[in-house]
Amino acid sequence: MNALVRIATLSFVLALPVTSFAQTTQELADARTHYQAGEAKFKTADYETALKEFRLAEQVKTTPQAARYIGLSADKLGRYAEAVAAYERFLSDVPPKLESEKETIKKRVGEIKAMPGSVKVTTHPTDAKIGIDGQPGLPSPREFNVPAGRHMVKVTADGWTPTEQEVNVTYATKQDVHVKLEKDEKTVAAVAPVPSSTTTASTATTTTTTTTEAPKPKSMVPVYVTAGVAGAALVTGSIFGILALKDSSDFDKAPTTSKADSGETKALVADLCLGLAVTFGITSIVLAVTKDEEPHSEDEKKAARIRIIPTPIITSNGGGAGAVIRF
């Protein structure tokens, strides 16, 4: 029984390298496929796809050949940090067949590391001045191209506390920096307004003088009165007019002095009443459509005191209506 266990264990141990070797062979085949696909895409200037294929190949097996192509592809795409990292992997283990590429790659690494980094500085407040590494301040916002390394940014503004901020710049990169200043307490105290009793009194006076009363609603009583008088005069005039016509008819049938006098009197009253009806009717309409306005100047106040009063006129030969103007 123990012999069978030992034989089974030995068979399992011997089988492990075979399985591991089979997986490694398949992975290497996949890596070679990705590498060849990357080369084909690189030759057609499809650097984005080429970079992806070379990365997949390097995930299986890191080789200086794949590192070189990753550096070249990233360099073409402007991804300089990745390009430098890949170039340096290649330079650490240059194969004999690519020895001629060593100096070219090394030179390119030096060129990339010499590229300046871009720093765009924005501020609060927006009218601040920005200086870098002791240079004179320039209006905000401002973009600086500086060598890789640490740099000191100084921001100043009137009424605000100056601030300095260190920025670590990487070669061939862009970064945004926002600097917020704090209010200078001394300046704030110096410009703060001091309230005075004179200012308070002036404000109170202004408030009092600007207060106005709401306009009073227009009274309709005069309209109703004049309309009522016009209606009564119209009815009365109509009645006396009818009576005057009747007396005139009776006079035609049997002429007498009394009938003639009676007819003339009634006709006179009818004319008078109709005249009053017209006068008060027009007055009522004028009062209804006229808006009351508060007089402002002395002339307007004087004009506002003028009153027009309708007045009947009776004479021995007739009658009518007029108006009395009072100042």
Can you give the pLDDT at residue 269?
Answer: 77
Helix axes of 221-253 and 257-289: crossing angle, nearest 10 degrees: 160
For residue range 138-196, what is the model confidence (pLDDT) as tens digits?
999 989 989 888 999 999 998 899 999 999 998 888 889 999 999 888 766 665 565 55
Tell me how crowded residue 81 is: count the other CB atoms within 10 A of its CB.
13
Helix, strand, coil content of the chain in percent (nearest 5): 60, 20, 20
The answer to whether the Cα torsion of 141, 145, 146, 149 is positive or negative is positive
327 falls in which pLDDT band (50, 70, 90)? Answer: very low
Q: According to the model, what pLDDT value does residue 19 have?
A: 43
Q: What is the pTM of this model?
A: 0.47
For the domain spanning 117-187, the CATH number is: 2.60.40.1120
Beta strands in the chain (DSSP E): 117-124, 129-132, 138-139, 142-146, 149-156, 160-161, 163-169, 174-180, 182-183, 307-314, 319-326
User: Which structure tokens are listed for 9?
Assistant: 């264990």
User: What does the block give as tokens for 274?
Assistant: 């109709």
Superfamily of domain 7-113, CATH level 4: Tetratricopeptide repeat domain (1.25.40.10)
> d(Cα 29, Cα 46) in Å, to the nearest integer?
23
Written as one string, the DSSP assignment of 148-185 is SEEEEEEEE-TTEE-EEEEEEEPTT-EEEEEEE-EE-H
